[in-house]
A = this chain, B = another copy of it.
Amino acid sequence: MNLDFSSDNASGAATEVLLALGDANAGTAHSYGDDDWTKKLEAAFAELFEREVTVLPVFTGTAANSLALASVTPPWGAILCHADSHINTDECGAPEQFSGGAKLMPVQGAGAKITPATLDDALNTIINRGVHSVQPAALSLTQASEFGTVYTLKELAALGAMARRRSLRLHVDGARFANAVASLDCTPAEATWKVGVDLLSFGGTKNGALGAEAVICFDKSLARELEFRRKRAGQLASKMRFVSAQLLALLSNGLWLKLARKSNGHAKKLSDGLTALGFPPAFPTDANEVFTFLPEKLVESLHKAGAHFYPWTGVPENGRLLCRFVTSFATRDEDVDGLIALVRRDPTGTYAAGAETAPAAGPR
Contact = CB atoms under 8 A, between A and B. Distances in A.
B233 A97 contact: yes
Task: Count the copies.
Answer: 4
Contacts of A210: 21, 239, 242
A13 B23 CA distance: 11
B90 A96 contact: no
B93 A129 contact: no
| A28, A58, A60, A129 interface centre (most CB from chain B within 10 Å) | A28
A66 interface: yes
A170 B51 CA distance: 39
A109 interface: no
Interface stretch (A152-160, A161-169, A222-230, A274-282): A222-230
B22 A228 contact: no
Interface in A268-298: none
Interface stretch (A2-10, A42-50, A182-190, A191-199): A2-10
A234 B75 contact: no
B9 A238 contact: yes
B31 A12 contact: no
A2 B27 contact: yes
A204 to B, nearest CB: 11
A100 to B, nearest CB: 4
A110 interface: no
Given A134-B93, A238-B9, A22 B27 contact: no
Interface stretch (A247-255, A258-266, A337-345, A356-364): A356-364
Interface of A: 2, 4, 6-7, 9-13, 18, 21-22, 24-32, 58-64, 66-67, 74-76, 89-94, 96-104, 124, 127, 129-135, 205-206, 210-211, 225, 227-239, 241-243, 308, 313-315, 330, 361-364
Q: Which 9 residue pairs are nearest across A and B when measured between Cβ atoms? A: A63-B234, A96-B101, A9-B31, A4-B28, A62-B234, A9-B238, A12-B25, A210-B242, A10-B28
11 contacts: A4-B28, A13-B239, A59-B59, A59-B237, A60-B237, A76-B232, A89-B129, A92-B228, A93-B102, A93-B103, A206-B238
Given A76-B231, A100-B101, A129-B362, 11 more contacts: A12-B27, A13-B25, A32-B131, A60-B238, A63-B235, A92-B132, A129-B361, A129-B363, A129-B364, A205-B238, A211-B239
